[in-house]
A and B are shown apart, each in its own frame.
Chain A
Amino acid sequence: MDRSIQKLIKNKSLMKNCIHTKNIYSLLDLPKKDETYKKMTKHLESCEVCGREFKLFQLKSAAAQVFIPKVIMDRDLKQSFEREVSELFKVMNLNNREILKNNVRSGFSILDNMGISFLQNLYSRTMVKSYFFAFAIFLVLKFLL
């Protein structure tokens, strides 16, 4: 009889709830610098229910890690992946030589464009007008002096 009463008392104490119990689980994942972590740790020290619950959850989670897979890659798959990656770099012209070539080409095309626009400017209307104006000044100065 005494035993059953003791059991009942024990069960009653186990059934005690705390409103923070659900939040206490986040302690596993929160960074230690976090303000919530600090608050929860403080609460954990004083609350028996949460302390017990958290310890149990922690143990269960640690044991459940066995079920999270870390898949190992096949050697053939690895080799084919490496081949594909190097192929991608080639196709996308991402090798250093190709990049250098492209940059030299783009550099020359800038120079080309500058030369062309310079020549075009030489024959532009404004320039032709200025040639006439300069020639006129030249003639005037020649007659005057």
Chain B
Amino acid sequence: MKTEELQKYIQNLSPELYSFSYVLIPDDLQASQLMIDCVQSFLIQKKALVEKMGLSKNKILKNLLEDTRLSIFKIVFELSRKRYQQLKISLSDVEGIGGFYSLDFDEKAILYLKEKAGFELETIEFITSTTRTETLAFLYSARIKMTRLMPNQDFQNQIQSGGIA
């Protein structure tokens, strides 16, 4: 495998990385900068591995690209958590509107990874460095908060009667 392939693979990851970054830090410039920083951090961490990739060609592990994807997601989560604390005040406008963005940081991340990114629980645990119980607890509380977003009682009744599924 050539490193050019890895480069292209990372470049193609941009839509899903951006979406995840934006969910965690709802600011387009911050989110795009976060993505670049994460790729840089990944390359620094795994430089030796990437160098081997360039030479070993077909002798690499089958899941190496998938590992790359998950590692970058993990770094996005870790870096954004630090930045979120620093940017919290400037993000309060978006969070103040309510809805999904008003959820706690971990709840947002875990719910997004489960529902939109479609990751398995094990993968989410790896990305967020949480235990199974913690992940389930975050998912539960996020879901409860999200169900409260239903606009009005009529809507609730419609759901109850099976009108919306």
Contact residues of A with B, CB < 8 Å? 25-26, 28-31, 56-57, 59-65, 67-74, 77-78, 80-82, 84-86, 88-89, 92, 94-96, 99-100, 102-103
B140 touches A25 (CB 8 A): yes
How many residue pairs link A and B with beta carbons under 8 A? The number is 131
List 3 A-B pairs, minimum CB-CB distance, nearest first.
Answer: A64-B146, A60-B147, A73-B18
A85's partner among B7, B18, B23, B135 (CB-CB below 8 A) is: B7
Q: Nearest CB to that of A65 among chain B residues? A: B115
B-side residues, CB < 8 A to A, are 2-4, 7, 10-11, 14-15, 18-19, 22-23, 28, 31-32, 35-36, 39-40, 43-44, 47, 50-51, 54-55, 99-100, 111-112, 114-116, 120-121, 135-136, 139-140, 143-144, 146-147, 149-150, 155-156, 159-160, 162, 164-165
The answer to whether residues A56 and B160 also contact, given A25-B140, A63-B150, A99-B54 and a CB cut-off of 8 A, is yes
A94 touches B43 (CB 8 A): yes
**Majority secondary structure of chain A interface residues (helix, strand, loop or mixed):** helix
> Would you give the shortest CB distance from A62 to chain B, in whole angstroms?
6
Pairwise interchain contact B23-A61, C-beta atoms closer than 8 A: no
Q: How far is the CA of A139 from the CA of B90 in the complex (A)?
A: 92
Give 27 CB contacts A-B under 8 Å: A29-B114, A29-B140, A57-B147, A59-B159, A60-B156, A61-B146, A63-B147, A64-B146, A67-B99, A67-B100, A68-B115, A68-B146, A71-B22, A72-B19, A73-B19, A77-B18, A81-B35, A85-B7, A85-B10, A85-B39, A86-B7, A86-B11, A88-B43, A92-B44, A94-B54, A95-B4, A100-B54
